[in-house]
Structure 1
Amino acid sequence: MTADRRRPLLVRVLLQPAVAVGLSLPEWDLLLRQARRSNLAGKLAEQMERGGWLGTLPEPVRPHLRSALLLSRRQAQMLGRDVDLLSQTLAGLPGPLILLKGAAYALGGHAPAPGRLFSDIDLLIPPEQLAQCETTLLVHGWDFDEGLDAYDLRYYREWMHELPPLHHRRRGTSLDVHHTLLPPTARTPLDSRALFDAPRPLPSRPGVFVLPPEDMLLHSAAHLFHEGELPNGLRDLFDLDALMREFGAIEGFWQRLVARARRIGLVRPLWLALRYTRQLLDTPYPDALPAELAPPPGPLALRLLDACYQRALRPAHDSCLLPGHAIAETALYVRSHWLRMPTGLLAQHLARKAWTRMTAMPEAPKPAA
């Protein structure tokens, strides 16, 4: 690993967990704060337990890590129950129910799963089954989020790659139902039908599938480098690192990954994933791989992307912020919307959202208790 003290403490420890054994209490305090802000406390705790160090750490540190372990493992248990109930609810759909991201990692037993926290279940279904799926979910206790207005609902239905976010009235579970991986209006042409070529069944859950390794990694890359959801950016970068280390051991994986990226249309997100996992996490992969995905971004575009991602893909804690962090996050937010919509639709959408914020009525003060 590159010996670089400029890397945030959390990144250094997650890449070399044994480093944590020699940390002082003030350093542990900083490490735990960085981990919580990055949604990586569970991953840190799992590494400490797996290495056999948890019981040897300073006494004030142990309860925090044990709490993170309990929370992540409880989430995994509840996930299994929720997916079983979902598969029963949607058993009438003829097509496969494909789990994405955190749910797929956990129930598929993949490398990013230990200690990973997530807020919702992501599901992929064929687009022609979307209407039947929505009706069935609404009948069986699911509702759209209350905060969505008529424009938001139209935005999801006409321009996005998923239904409006759903939650279960009784269980409180959140659900995102996707019919493709990128918005239909995105500038990146995507062969959505290819996603249903060969999903992999989960042996213990009939009718429930996950994407094959190549597609799973490509979706993770697209989620981070196309959609621009950066509050969990460092966690998602570690997901990519874990997937590359796991799947890279499979014979012929890298060649199939490049071919699959070209087939689906996700060459650029994969190129960016390779660049920043190597830069920031020393992720191993064949050195010639990025050149097979040519052409890269132009020199000016690449300098701007580096400046932005090298700032945004750090722990979301004050100790880790570099000069220009806020500008970088804003630029990547604008970029994600520019990738998502054509210029005219984007201008209309941003103007509408800005007007809504400006004209929103302030909440009435609550009466004193």
Structure 2
Amino acid sequence: MSAERRRPLLVRVLLQPAVAVGLSLTDWDLLLRQARRSNLAGKLAEQMERGGWLDSLPEPVRPHLRAALLLSRRQAQMLRREVDLLRRTLAELPGPLILLKGAAYVLGGHAPAPGRMFSDIDLLIPLEQLPRCETTLLVHGWDFDEGLDAYDQRYYRDWMHELPPLHHKRRGTSLDLHHALLPPTARTPLDSRALFDAPRALPGFPGVFELPPEDMLLHSAAHLFHEGELPNGLRDLFDLDALLREFGAIDGFWPRLTARARRIGLTRPLWLALRYTRMLLDTPWPDALLEELGPPPGTLALRLLDACYRRALRPAHDSCRLPGHELAEAALYVRSHWLRMPFGLLARHLLRKAWTRMTATPEVPKVDTP
């Protein structure tokens, strides 16, 4: 079987959308399931519409794609409204409000935006403004999850690069408030202050900014290959692919990217992002980049990483699982925590979480009564 045929159906179609025209209804059933489970149904629908194929697809398929289009576009509308409300709420803060990830892609009009699905807004502010920002948000209807205990609060506030997730009590919106890109306890030395060097204003949203192209791509790489956010791993890999293709067309981007990775301290996540976008999605970038980022992982480490990411960065559907999938995900989960914390803190944290799961009181299922 060729390398192309070994790729999951969803990946083949997203890389070559014209393939979808000849699919059977059985193939489409599988494709839609893979797309939904991977949070990529909106991207698939946008590609079908942009290519002019949507109206010619089998009749049972069209409603599913049109629904995905409506949902992704509705999310983009709600995002604009929510960011405007956040901007007004936090207008008294002296520093910039920097959007990250999906919100920045959509409001900045970047390549990953069409069809992009997301469940929360990621916002970056300077560390010294965090207490005032938190107080302002709480006054204006935001709150933390009720299920967070004292240990969870301490975990976020002492060891992480963000506050616990916030939710608006009336609008239901979710917000992740960051003050750095990686936890202060991370093994990777990181200069998060450099992220505030030259943010770019977002037109129509005074006081709201996005990262410059180099930093935006580096954050996306760090999010996937350092933080280990695997439930949306394939979606995030396609984000990286789109950003590399978009920004790679800018004059002088590649040398600025490698220089910036060294400046901030994100050469290894970028190295991994380049390797796996090329390996899994055929992403174009200059071959000399990897050498400029320093030595690769050792031979054994690289084989293990390849084995894990080849399994974890596939559609989140049973039809795409390779042997050893669960072991690969578990290994990458441990790796992300190992990169995030020193050993003593990591051991204590994992033991605490394991004990909490074992001693949790199971929920009694509700029974409907007539």
Same fold flag (TM > 0.5) = yes
Q: State the SS of the aligned residue for 2:170.
A: coil
Q: How does 1:344-359 map to 2 (within 5 A)?
A: 344-359=344-359
2:93 maps to 93
| Equivalent residue letter for 1:298 | G
Query: Following TM superposition, by how much is the alpha carbon of 1:367 offset from its aligned partner in structure 2, in angstroms?
Result: 5.1
Q: State the SS of the aligned residue for 1:351.
A: helix
In structure 1, C-alpha distance between the alignment counterparts of 2:132 and 2:195, rounded to whole Å = 20
Q: State the SS of the aligned residue for 2:183.
A: coil
| Equivalent residue letter for 2:130 | L
Q: State the SS of the aligned residue for 1:175.
A: strand
2:115 maps to 115
In structure 2, C-alpha distance between the alignment counterparts of 1:6 and 1:246, rounded to whole Å = 27
Please, which moves more after superposition, 116-125 or 353-362? 353-362
**Matched-pair identity in %:** 86
1:182 maps to 182
2:49 maps to 49
Query: Following TM superposition, by how much is the alpha carbon of 1:366 offset from its aligned partner in structure 2, in angstroms?
Result: 3.2
In structure 2, C-alpha distance between the alignment counterparts of 1:33 and 1:366, rounded to whole Å = 29
2:320 maps to 320
Q: State the SS of the aligned residue for 1:315.
A: coil
| Equivalent residue letter for 2:141 | G
1:342 maps to 342
Residue 238 in structure 1 maps to residue 238 in structure 2: yes
Q: How does 1:134-283 map to 2 (within 5 A)?
A: 134-283=134-283
2:286 maps to 286
| Equivalent residue letter for 1:193 | R
In structure 2, C-alpha distance between the alignment counterparts of 1:278 and 1:362, rounded to whole Å = 44
Query: Following TM superposition, by how much is the alpha carbon of 1:312 offset from its aligned partner in structure 2, in angstroms?
Result: 0.4
In structure 2, C-alpha distance between the alignment counterparts of 1:322 and 1:361, rounded to whole Å = 34
TM-score with structure 1 length normalisation?
0.99
| Equivalent residue letter for 2:117 | L
Q: State the SS of the aligned residue for 1:164.
A: coil
Query: Following TM superposition, by how much is the alpha carbon of 1:224 offset from its aligned partner in structure 2, in angstroms?
Result: 0.1
TM-score with structure 2 length normalisation?
0.98
In structure 1, C-alpha distance between the alignment counterparts of 2:172 and 2:78, rounded to whole Å = 11
In structure 1, C-alpha distance between the alignment counterparts of 2:324 and 2:59, rounded to whole Å = 38
Long gaps (5+) in structure 1? none
Query: Following TM superposition, by how much is the alpha carbon of 1:318 offset from its aligned partner in structure 2, in angstroms?
Result: 1.0
In structure 2, C-alpha distance between the alignment counterparts of 1:226 and 1:298, rounded to whole Å = 17
Q: How does 1:302-321 map to 2 (within 5 A)?
A: 302-321=302-321
Partner deviation per Cα, 1:24-69 (whole Å, 9 max, x = no partner): 1100111101100100000000000000000000000000000000
1:12 maps to 12
Query: Following TM superposition, by how much is the alpha carbon of 1:363 offset from its aligned partner in structure 2, in angstroms?
Result: 2.2
In structure 1, C-alpha distance between the alignment counterparts of 2:35 and 2:368, rounded to whole Å = 37
In structure 1, C-alpha distance between the alignment counterparts of 2:83 and 2:295, rounded to whole Å = 41
Q: State the SS of the aligned residue for 2:207.
A: strand
Long gaps (5+) in structure 2? none
In structure 1, C-alpha distance between the alignment counterparts of 2:63 and 2:154, rounded to whole Å = 46
Q: How many residues matched? A: 368
Residue 130 in structure 1 maps to residue 130 in structure 2: yes
Query: Following TM superposition, by how much is the alpha carbon of 1:364 offset from its aligned partner in structure 2, in angstroms?
Result: 3.6
Q: State the SS of the aligned residue for 1:206.
A: coil
